[in-house]
Amino acid sequence: MAHYGAAKAALNNYSQGLAKELAPLGVRVNIVTPGPIYTPGGDEVRKQITTAMGIADQQFMSTVPLQGRGGKSEELAEVIAFLVSDRSSYVTGRNHFVTGGWGELA
Catalytically annotated residues? 4
Are 94 and 30 in contact by the 8 Å Cβ rule? The answer is: yes
Q: Pinpoint the alpha helices (H) of the chain.
A: 2-22, 40-53, 57-61, 73-84
Close Cβ partners of 97 (under 8 Å, ≥ 6 residues apart): 33, 35, 103, 104
Query: Among 59, 71, 60, which Cα is nearest to 100's?
Result: 71
